[in-house]
Amino acid sequence: MADVQIQALENGPLKVQGPVTITDADGTEYEARKAVFLCRCGGSTKKPFCDGTHSKIGFAAAERAVREEAAG
């Protein structure tokens, strides 16, 4: 999966690009696509995929990764 990229879009979904297989909690697999958008707000009616609900509910995400401090 070296060609897979995941990008957190500002106050929106995760954009996943590359050859991936998505499996939901019931074990249903979705075909790999060149790009998919996965819900982060929890409000999508098409989970795990984004349906744009984040913009209607004012979802505010944390896009910046928090780096762990080195244990010392």
Q: Rounded to two decimals, what is the model's pTM?
A: 0.78
Domain limits of the chain?
5-57
Domain 5-57 has CATH 3.40.50: no
**Residues 45-58 pLDDT 10s:** 999 999 999 999 99
What is the token pair recorded at 9?
């879009």
Assess contact for 11 and 50: CB atoms under 8 A.
no
For 10-43, what is each residue's pLDDT tens digit? 999 999 998 899 998 899 998 877 899 999 999 9
